[in-house]
Each structure stands twice: as C-alpha cells, then as structure tokens.
Amino acid sequence: MALAPASPHPPDTATATATRPGKVARRPKPSSEPPEGNRERAKGRDRLWVAAFLVPFLVLYMGFTLWPLIATVYYSFFDWSGSGPLDNFVGGDNYSRILGDPLFWQAVVNTLLFAVGTTLIKLPLSLLAALVMTRKWLRAKRALRTVFFAPLIIPVAMAGLVFTYLLNPSNGALNSALHGLGLTDGTTDVFANRWTALLALVLISVWQVFGQYMIYWMAALQNVPDELYEAAELDGASEWQKLTRITLPLIRPVAVVIVMLALVNAMHVFGLVVTLTGGGPGTSTYVVSYFIYKQAFGSMPFAYGYASAAALLFSVMAFLLVTSQGLFVRRAQKMRKEYGV
C-alpha cells in the first residue's frame, strides 16, 4: 500500500522507528513483513551507486521543495519586492496585515468552499462510476472509461475558454438550451453572481478531474480479493450487502488517501479560476493561489514577502485540513489489520 502511508505518519513516527533498521517505517503489520534481507546495508562500491542514485532526486527535491519551503518562511518576515537585497525586516507585520485583509479571508473561504464542494461531489460520483465500470458484465468498458477520462486531457485554460463560451449569456449553449426548453427567455450569466460563479467552477472542475478519481477508485476496488465475494455469494449475500459489508470497509484505507488527494488537489485550484472568472465578479471568486499569484506577480510593486506570508498561512491551513484526517486514517488502518488486507 504505497498511497496510504502518505497520510498518517508525520506526527507519530518521528519518535518511534529510527532504531529499527530492518523495519519498513510505513507498515504497521510486522507479521506480513518480508524477511530482513529485503533491505541490504550498502557496502563498498555499492555505496557510490547508492549515492549516485539518490543525487538526481535529492538535488531537485532540495532545490524545488525543501529550500522553497524554508525560504517561504524566511521571506514572509520581510517587506520584499523580489529585487534588491532582503534587508527590510518587518517581523510579523506581513502576518498582521494578512490577518486583517478581507480579500485574503474571502480567498480562504472560497478555496475551502471549492475544495469541500468538489470533493463532496466528485468522490461519491466517481466511486459509483468505478463500481459500475468494474462490473464483469458491463460492455464497452474501455470506450466508457475513455469518455469519462477525456476531459482530463484538455489543458485547463482550454476547458476554461470552452466553458466561457458555452456559458456566455448572449448565445452560449447553456442559454440556448434553456431557451429551447422554455425555462427562461432572459439571459443567464452564471459569472455575474458569486454563488453561481463558484458553483460553475466546482462543477467544471468535477467534470474535468472526474476520470482521475474514477481510476483511483477502480484501482482500490481491484485490491479487494475475489474470494471474499465468492464466499459472500455462497452465503447468499445481496449485491447491497456485498457493497456495504465487503467493498466499502475494505477500500476504506485507500479511500482516506483518495479523500486527502482530492482535498489537496482542489486546494491548488488556479488555472480554472484564472481562465473562467479571473477572480470575478469583482473579487468574489478569488482563491488563495490566485491571491498569492496576484500579490507576487500580478502588479508592480511585487509583494513577495506579503505573498509568502499568505502562502505560509495557506500551507498551514492545508496541512491542518489534511492531517485532521489522521484520526480516520488510524482507524482505517486498524480495520485493515482486522480484515488482513
């Protein structure tokens, strides 16, 4: 289970495992561990190879993930426009300004609404789709899978532009469809109102990433052993019972990870906002990444320090949102132990 361990550990492994070299840190089940020999101690010339194999990842990881994380913290204490030396230390000034910036809070609220909204819609629907798509009896699976996966391959700006046209108030497809059905004869401009604009963002995002989550679920479903279903069948279990007693409990550990990926990916939302609403109407669909972009690169003078403070606050919030699931993860892992999957 490579996806699941991502979640649980930051808080609790830090203390525990450093002294047990043969044990894989991520796995709570000693019984199913491969024998010790699976992990060799590097010696002699192998050491050079080990180092050489690690270098490409380490260099990029340090340069583009670790250092930026540290630098974001550092910049956030300065009033810095990106050019010139970093010498205008302002302490917590950026933070107190951010905390009093209504636009930032609006962006936070929008980001959370968007993240929770898309997750609540796309996960159950894609699970349902995956359940149907993994039925043995279903015909044309490949074609259907491709259909649902297809929106993912449209660059996000294209999706944005297509939908601005389809939804445009004068002659877009939505309006002509509404007229055709006789539902309205006026013009419906979904991007004129904060709530409809947010809803449009959510739905279009669901449309776009649906296939990805469907495939996550399909992968999760593949890991449920067939024997369990066969046994249940012998006991006369109904489809519904099989779903609620076998499938759902067994995919729960993976489900937790999928939920987290979904939330975090949704919190990244940027391209759709830029292309569909540009944060509008007014500033009412600002999301945090757009706020950061606008502060840092949007208009002179650039406010890197201020944007960094916003970025850091955002990271902390994302982290809290994600790790608040740690509890569920631990429970799910306990379940996994019980079921032996």
Q: Which residues, 46 to 65, sit near other proteins by CB under 8 A?
A: 46-47, 49-50, 53-54, 56-58, 60-61, 63-65
Q: Is 299 in the site for other proteins (CB under 8 A)?
A: no
Q: Is 169 in the site for other proteins (CB under 8 A)?
A: no
Instruction: Render 199-239 in DSSP notation, one character per residue.
Output: HHHHHHHHHHHHHHHHHHHHHHHHTS-HHHHHHHHHTT--H
Coil, strand, or helix at residue 181?
coil
Query: Residue 50 or residue 109: which is nearer to other proteins going by CB?
Result: 50
Contacting other proteins within 307-336 (CB under 8 A): 307-308, 311-312, 314-315, 318-319, 322
Exposure string (b/e) for 126-151, b if CB count within 10 Å is 16 or more?
bbebbbebbeeeeeeeeeebeebeeb
Nearest of 103, 65, 109, 116 to residue 266 by alpha carbon: 116
**Residue 5 structure tokens:** 């361990």
The residue to which tokens 């020999």 are assigned: 37
Among 112, 121, 154, 199, binds other proteins (CB under 8 A): 154
Q: Is 337 in the site for other proteins (CB under 8 A)?
A: no
Nearest of 276, 265, 250, 241 to residue 322 by alpha carbon: 265
301: preceding bond cis by omega (within 30 degrees): yes
- Find the shortest distance in angstroms from Cβ 169 to other proteins: 12
- Find the shortest distance in angstroms from Cβ 49 to other proteins: 4
Non-local (6+) Cβ contacts of 140 within 8 A are none
Q: Is 99 in the site for other proteins (CB under 8 A)?
A: no
The residue to which tokens 């819609």 are assigned: 121
Q: Is 279 in the site for other proteins (CB under 8 A)?
A: no
Cα(236)–Cα(197) distance, integer angstroms = 49
- Each residue 218-237 as x (binds other proteins by CB under 8 A) or -, in order, gives xxx-xx--------------
Among 113, 116, 162, 248, binds other proteins (CB under 8 A): 162
Decide: 250 and 341 in contact? Cβ < 8 Å. Answer: yes
Among 68, 249, 280, 326, binds other proteins (CB under 8 A): 68
- Contact range with other proteins by CB under 8 A, out of 6-14, 184-192, 195-203, 242-250: 6-14
Nearest of 285, 334, 265 to residue 294 by alpha carbon: 285
**Residue 25 structure tokens:** 């840190």
Decide: 192 and 168 in contact? Cβ < 8 Å. Answer: no
Query: Residue 162 or residue 283: which is nearer to other proteins going by CB?
Result: 162
- Contact range with other proteins by CB under 8 A, out of 89-97, 154-162, 185-193, 327-335: 154-162
Q: Is 66 in the site for other proteins (CB under 8 A)?
A: yes
Cα(268)–Cα(166) distance, integer angstroms = 25
Cα(34)–Cα(168) distance, integer angstroms = 59
- Contact range with other proteins by CB under 8 A, out of 96-104, 186-194, 265-273, 327-335: 265-273
Q: Is 128 in the site for other proteins (CB under 8 A)?
A: no
Cα(309)–Cα(162) distance, integer angstroms = 35
- Contact range with other proteins by CB under 8 A, out of 17-25, 94-102, 240-248, 326-334: 17-25
- Contact range with other proteins by CB under 8 A, out of 95-103, 116-124, 187-195, 261-269: 261-269
Among 99, 109, 120, 150, binds other proteins (CB under 8 A): 150
Among 30, 85, 100, 139, binds other proteins (CB under 8 A): 139
